[in-house]
Amino acid sequence: MKFHREGYSILLISFIASLIIGIASYFLLLKNLHCIVFCVIEAINLIFFILIVQFFRIPKRQKTYQDDEIVCPADGEIVVIEETLETEYFNDKRIQVSIFMSPLNVHANYYPVNGVVNYQKYHPGKFLVAWHPKSSTENERTTMVIKTDQGVEVLVRQIAGAVARRICYYNEVGSIAKQGEEFGFIKFGSRIDVFLPKNTELSIAIGDKVQSKLTILGKIKN
């Protein structure tokens, strides 16, 4: 397991802050025999640091894929599967699959299909809770469309949540998308929407816990 580059500075700052709090509480509390207060503060300090470390972890995962498979782009829980009107790019009905990422999930994002990025746009916006119905259209977000070699287009949308305040994406129009390779990161709780053709054969259900690079959302039908 390694740590994501987006977390290097935060991990360093968190470590220094945790160390300072630990030293200060030792001299101010433990030496003055406030043992219970010292233990509580140190427990909270340790838990907070562990959560930060866990958030930026990148576990090692490897899997081979078929060209027609749609790889899950993020860790989390499936909270939406529905046919909906996508108005930013397609202007027609698609199957929307939404994955909610809690602060405990890995937050790197990965390409679900092979192809070429033919649309990429960043939208500033609000910071509604990620499961809010309007978060997909009103929150800070990015929209990316990948065109596969078979000519099928898949839209992936990164959405900031109430806690997430920064969306990172590393692609642009013309970038080559490879299944399972990283394209972005969202800091501290968020959501990913994937818009698929209506004839997609899904293999997930609402409530499923999914893992990026390992879970297959479904198969594209030509």
Active-site residue list:
190
Place of tokens 């995962």: 61
Tokens found for residue 93: 């009905």
> Residue 159: which of 180, 119, 189 has the closest Cα?
189
As to burial, measured by CB atoms within 10 angstroms (0-12 exposed, 13-18 middle, 19+ buried), residue 207 is exposed
Cβ 86 vs Cβ 213: under 8 Å: no
Neighbours of 55 (CB within 10 A): 21
> Residue 95: which of 201, 175, 187 has the closest Cα?
201
For residues 127 and 188, give the distance between their C-alpha atoms in angstroms, rounded to a whole number.
Answer: 12
- Residue type, position 181, single letter: E
For residues 22 and 30, give the distance between their C-alpha atoms in angstroms, rounded to a whole number.
Answer: 10
Angle between helices 35-55 and 8-28 (to 10 degrees): 180
